[in-house]
Amino acid sequence: MDLEIRQLTDADMKQAMRLGAESFGNPPTPDEDLPSSTREGREWFGAFDGGLLVAQAINREFHSWFGGVAIATAGVAFVGVTAEYRGRGILRPLLDALLASALDRGSVVSALFPTAPRIYRGLGYERITDLTIASIPTSTLTGLPRSSASIRRATADDLDAIRAVYDAWAAEQNGALTRTSPSMGGLDADGLASLSGVTVAVDGSGAVTGYAAWNRGEGYGDDATIEVLDLVARDADAYRGLLTTLGSFSGVAPTTTIRTSGDDAVRLLLPTSHWKVTSSTPYMLRVLDVDAALSQRGFPRAVTAELPFSVDGQTRVLTLSGGTGQCAVADHQDTRELTPQGLAALYAGAQSCANLRSTSQLTGGDVADDETWDAAFGGRQVHILDYF
């Protein structure tokens, strides 16, 4: 097909919202509520057959933490293809245009929440974690050891401290968003007012050391729920105090749900094995610029090595020293080869070399060197707490 691929304008918004409703089951958008096609931190691309919008996707500008460094990330969202045009290979040229623009704007990796992982795996993305909803009986939170933290309701004066707690936690993970970009802001006064509550834990010096953002579900019967959107803390006392406060709802809300990902550290403190995942959405990553992404990412200071590899038929060497890396194309005879998907999983520290070999995403090279690669990219949990 001879398609026109371009950024959308306000004149395209009626078609864009109609396609969004078709793709995601959203209600129709009245003409007076149509969004602007230009918002800070977003680029909206579409594929047109004549004047008909047949596919669309949005690039949201983020930064994600990898190895202690915030890496410019193109978050792909609102992807949709008109029913009659599916299966015709439209998505690849659409995303090629979107990601080329993202590269020009400085993004070196891309991430998305797929509805069809197979499609995006064919485009070089690989799953690195899942955004999940975990359910636990609220009553299990009443048996925790007593906390020395002071627990109180947050006010607007606490917003900077809450953001600082999240920022410190996120910087220690792989994959977590910074929440400082125009496309993904942190908790603000409006958000504070819209929630049933935000509870903070405060240490003896008066510093906020943790917080829980939660909504009180409807009713008080067997189906009543406390929905925890964020639960982040810097020490065990803060976690225990926050969990105990949530447990105080056990008489009226028998179930607590927690939005989380990966293997949440809070499970190390729970007095029960109850932890039922009721919802799971995969999160995928793609490396857009191999040299830049690997040169910008942080690495363990203890690892000093020269790591040759190839991806997409191009041989490179990653040189590690003092917690930083430099990656560049080089003439080297090493036969270690990563698929683009394998590189994404390795970059995030989501899979070991052994696992990548078992799925043929890593082949060749000296297996004895795998432990150096694992040491270089591992050591941090892979987490995402934000859906986009």
- pLDDT by residue (tens digit) across 183-202? 888 899 999 999 999 999 99
Instruction: Say whether pLDDT at 331 is over 80.
Output: yes
Q: What is the CATH number of the domain that holds 366?
A: 3.30.1050.10
pLDDT score, position 233:
98
Question: For residue 224, what are its two tokens?
Answer: 């009543």
Q: What is the pTM of this model?
A: 0.95
* 245 and 202 Cβ atoms separated by less than 8 Å: no
Task: Mark whether 245 and 106 lie in a shared domain.
Answer: no
Q: What is the CATH number of the domain that holds 26?
A: 3.40.630.30
pLDDT score, position 143:
87
Q: Is 326 among the domain residues?
A: yes
Instruction: Say whether pLDDT at 1 is over 80.
Output: no
Task: Mark whether 202 and 329 lie in a shared domain.
Answer: no
Task: Mark whether 38 and 171 lie in a shared domain.
Answer: no
Task: Mark whether 97 and 45 lie in a shared domain.
Answer: yes
**Domain end: 213, 248, 280, which one?**
280
Q: How far is CA 237 from CA 149, 199, 208, 293, 381, in A?
A: 6, 14, 12, 37, 21
Work out the average pLDDT over 259-288.
96
pLDDT score, position 186:
85
pLDDT range class, residue 182, cuts 50, 70, 90: confident
Element spanning 45, H or E: strand 42-49
Give the rounded percent of residues in the chain with a pLDDT score beyond 70.
Answer: 100
Work out the average pLDDT over 151-157.
98
- pLDDT by residue (tens digit) across 356-386? 999 999 999 999 999 999 999 999 999 999 9
Non-local (6+) Cβ contacts of 252 within 8 A are 220, 224
Single-letter code of the amino acid located at 48: F
- pLDDT by residue (tens digit) across 29-46? 999 999 999 999 999 999
Q: Which 8-state DSSP code applies to residue 373?
A: H
Non-local (6+) Cβ contacts of 342 within 8 A are 126, 351, 356, 359, 361, 362
Task: Mark whether 189 and 302 lie in a shared domain.
Answer: no
Averaged confidence pLDDT in the chain: 96
Task: Mark whether 33 and 108 lie in a shared domain.
Answer: yes
Residue 259 structural domain: 132-280
pLDDT score, position 8:
98
Task: Mark whether 173 and 214 lie in a shared domain.
Answer: yes
Q: Is 362 among the domain residues?
A: yes
Task: Mark whether 314 and 335 lie in a shared domain.
Answer: yes
Task: Mark whether 62 and 154 lie in a shared domain.
Answer: no
Task: Mark whether 198 and 224 lie in a shared domain.
Answer: yes
Half-sphere exposure of 73 (CA within 13 A, CB side): 32
Work out the average pLDDT over 265-280.
95
* 233 and 144 Cβ atoms separated by less than 8 Å: no
pLDDT score, position 247:
97
pLDDT range class, residue 290, cuts 50, 70, 90: very high
Work out the average pLDDT over 3-9.
97
Task: Mark whether 16 and 90 lie in a shared domain.
Answer: yes
Report d(CA 14, CA 36) in Å as an integer.
10
Task: Mark whether 293 and 276 lie in a shared domain.
Answer: no
Number of domains in the chain: 3
Q: Is 125 among the domain residues?
A: no
Give the rounded percent of residues in the chain with a pLDDT score beyond 90.
Answer: 96
Q: Is 24 among the domain residues?
A: yes
